[in-house]
Amino acid sequence: MDVTPALAREAWRLAEPLHAMIYFAPEVRERFAALGVPAGVDYFASRGAAFGPVGPGPVVATFYNFHPGLVARALPAAWEIVSPATAVAARLDAADAALVRGLGDVVQSPEVAEAAELARRAAESAIAYAAGRPLFAAHAGLDWPQAPHLVLWHAQTLLREFRGDAHVAALLVAGVSGLQSIILHAASGQANGRFLRASRGWSREEWADEESALRERGLISGEELSDEGRALRDGIEADTDRLAAPAYQVLGADGAARLAELARPLSRTLVKAGFLSAAAPSRK
C-alpha cells in the first residue's frame, strides 16, 4: 500500500527529535570548543560541512531563514580553524555521546536496530529523488556510521534535509522569503518570534519591514495570521508533505507506520528529558 503524505509526515515527526536534539545538546558545543570553533559558528560549520569548505552562499540558500550576514561571519572563516571532515566527525561524535546519555542502554536494543534499518532504507531510497534537493544531496554523500543508534540518527538527518529542501521549494513557489517564513511561523502561535529573530540574526527593523509586507498581502492581521495567512501556511505544509512522501514509499504503509511506532518512545524519552530545549540538560 502506498504511503500517504500524512503517514510520511507522521513517520518523520515522531523520529525527528532523534536528529533535532543535535541542535541543543551540550556535547556539540564541547566538541567544537575543543577544536577552537566559536559558539554560533559551530552550527553553520557542523550542518554545512557536508558541502565542503564553501563560503556563505550555499548555506544562505539552503538554510533559508538565516540572515546572510550572520552566515558570512561564520563561513568560510570556520574552515581556517577546522576542516569540513573534522566538523562532520565532531558532529557525529557529539550525536553518539548525546544519544547514549539520553537513551542509555536502549541504544543497544533490537527496537533501535529495527528503526535504524527502516530509516536507512527510506533515506537511501530518497537518493533517487535528490534532484533539486542540494542540502539533502550533500549529506547523502557522507559515509554511513556503523552503530545502529548512529545509523538511525544519520538516516533521520537525511530525511530531515530531504523534507527541508522540499519545504524551501514550497516557500519559493508561495513567494515567501526566509525571513517572512519565520514571521509567519511566529504569527501562527507555534513559535516565539523574539527567539526566531535573534537566533537567525535579523534586526528589529528588518523584521518589522517584512511583517508590514505580509500585512499588505493580507497574510497577517494584528499580530496573528489572517484567514488568508493560515490558508497559505496550510498549503505550504501540504506541498511539503507531498514532496517529502517519496522517501517513505519503499517502506510501504506498514513499514512507515512501524518506523513511527518504534521512534515514538525513543523521541518521547529525549523530549521529556529536555533534549529539545534551548537549555538542554548538561551531561555533568
Residue 281 pLDDT class (50, 70, 90 cuts): very low
Closest CA to 161 of 279, 67, 64, 270: 64
- Cα separations in angstroms, 258 against 16, 88, 118, 253, 262: 15, 30, 8, 9, 6
Residue 277: pLDDT over 60: yes
Q: Phi and psi (nearest 5°) for 65?
A: -105, 15
In tens, the pLDDT along 16-74 reads 999 999 999 999 999 999 999 999 999 999 999 999 999 999 999 999 999 999 999 99
Give residues with Cβ within 8 angstroms of 81, minimum separation 6: 35, 36, 37
Read off the pLDDT of each residue in 247-264 and give the average, rounded to a whole number.
98
Read off the pLDDT of each residue in 170-174 and give the average, rounded to a whole number.
98
Residue 280: pLDDT over 60: no
In tens, the pLDDT along 83-121 reads 999 999 999 999 999 999 999 999 999 999 999 999 999
Helix (H) or strand (E) holding 225: strand 224-225
pLDDT at 107: 97
pLDDT at 1: 73
Residue 179: pLDDT over 50: yes
Please state whether 14 falls in left (phi above 0), alpha (psi between -120 and 50) or beta: alpha
pLDDT at 283: 42
Read off the pLDDT of each residue in 1-10 and give the average, rounded to a whole number.
94
Q: How buried is 267 (Cβ within 10 angstroms: 0-12 exposed, 13-18 middle, 19+ buried)? A: buried
DSSP 153-222: HHHHHHHHHHHHHHHHHHHHHHT--HHHHHHHHHHTTSS-HHHHHHHTT--HHHHHHHHHHHHHTT-EET
Residue 279 pLDDT class (50, 70, 90 cuts): very low
Residue 78 pLDDT class (50, 70, 90 cuts): very high
> What is the domain partition of the chain in residue ranges?
5-272
Read off the pLDDT of each residue in 162-170 and give the average, rounded to a whole number.
98
Residue 282: pLDDT over 50: no
In tens, the pLDDT along 189-246 reads 999 999 999 999 999 999 999 999 999 999 999 889 999 999 999 999 999 999 999 9
pLDDT at 278: 63
Grid coordinates representing 91 are 558532529
- Cα separations in angstroms, 150 against 133, 153, 157: 23, 5, 10
Q: Taking the model in full, what pTM does it have?
A: 0.95
